[in-house]
């Protein structure tokens, strides 16, 4: 078997094992999804508030957009955080010494995070079916939209998470990434339609992959009457596919380059420096 293919298969197997361990451990599962519980809670209080300009509730509009946040949090933040922690404790250095170790590591993380995203999507959809009355859940074409939207969204955001994790120097700095991610979500129409934003703000929103993920998810679950809140009164499936595809290409080109540079910087001396810094902070 090709060495790279064998490494990827081994990594995928490890990722599946890690996913099963998390999904069968209540404490680990709650830790990984606590942010989702915080986002789903307000839906109960927003279910009776009407969205201006559209005949549906605010909760109905927001719930499909949470699917985009599932990909954003896991694809960007979870992968970045795990990569930073594994570099800090020497895991990346050890993998560097193994044949195709980085490829195996990344394939495992992709399987694990993709599984966590899929599980989070199931939770969001299940909660929506209970709390929200206006979701469209019975048309096969809308489920087909999700069938291409989820893998393409992961393909667009996972490489960006790897890039972020390669650039952040310390686990203590990973929290600073959350602020830009929340800001990006705010301007991407996740919580409120951008159709009423100024033109320049609409352009900024459409430059974000989260906007297109949210738009695609809304097209799958919201009735066509919700189009009045969207830019151009259209779901723009081809534009969504193209925009996410462009982000995926950019990430797939940039991520391997940045990861190789990050792995090249890892050495025993850098580990010693990080350890000494940590010890000095503990004794200060």
Residues 113-151: pLDDT tens digits?
899 888 888 888 888 777 777 677 777 888 899 889 989
Count of structural domains within the chain: 1
Taking the C-alpha atoms of residue 276 and residue 144, their distance in angstroms, rounded to an integer, is: 53
User: Whole-prediction pTM value?
Assistant: 0.84
Q: CA separation (Å) from 259 to 2, 59, 256, 273?
A: 22, 39, 5, 20
Beta-carbon contacts of residue 4 (< 8 Å; ≥ 6 apart): 100, 103
Q: Report how far residue 46's alpha carbon sits from residue 56's, in angstroms, rounded to the nearest whole number.
A: 11
When pLDDT is cut at 50, 70 and 90, the band that residue 228 belongs to is confident
> HSE on the CB side for 186, CA within 13 Å?
6
- Rounded to 5 degrees, φ, ψ at 49 are -85, 130
| Containing structural domain, residue 197 | 3-283
| pLDDT over threshold 80, residue 253 | yes
**Residue whose entry in the numeric block shows the structure tokens 């680990």:** 28
Q: How far apart are CA 108 and CA 96, in angstroms?
A: 15
């Amino acid at each position: 078997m090709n060495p790279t293919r064998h490494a990827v298969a081994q990594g995928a197997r490890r990722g599946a094992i890690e996913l099963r361990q998390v999904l069968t451990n209540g404490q680990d599962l709650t830790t990984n999804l606590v942010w989702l519980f915080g986002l789903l809670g307000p839906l109960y209080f927003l279910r009776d508030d009407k969205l201006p300009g559209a005949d549906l509730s605010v909760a109905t509009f927001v719930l499909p957009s949470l699917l985009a946040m599932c990909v954003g949090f896991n694809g960007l933040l979870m992968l970045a955080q795990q990569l930073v922690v594994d570099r800090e404790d020497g895991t990346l250095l050890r993998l560097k010494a193994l044949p195709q170790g980085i490829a195996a590591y990344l394939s495992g993380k992709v399987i694990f995070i993709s599984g966590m995203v899929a599980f989070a999507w199931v939770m969001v959809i299940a909660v929506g079916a209970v709390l929200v009355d206006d979701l469209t859940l019975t048309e096969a074409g809308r489920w087909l939209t999700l069938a291409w939207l989820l893998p393409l969204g992961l393909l667009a955001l996972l490489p960006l998470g790897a890039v972020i994790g390669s650039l952040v120097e310390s686990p203590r700095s990973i929290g600073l990434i959350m602020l830009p991610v929340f800001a990006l979500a705010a301007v991407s129409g996740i919580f409120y339609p951008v159709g009423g934003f100024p033109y320049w703000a609409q352009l900024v929103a459409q430059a974000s992959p989260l906007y297109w993920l949210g738009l695609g998810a809304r097209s799958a679950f919201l009735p066509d009457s919700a189009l009045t809140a969207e830019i151009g009164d259209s779901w723009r499936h081809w534009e969504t596919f193209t925009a996410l595809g462009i982000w995926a290409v950019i990430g797939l080109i940039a991520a391997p380059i940045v990861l190789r540079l990050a792995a090249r910087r890892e050495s025993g001396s850098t580990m010693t420096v990080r350890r000494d810094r940590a010890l000095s902070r503990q004794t200060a």
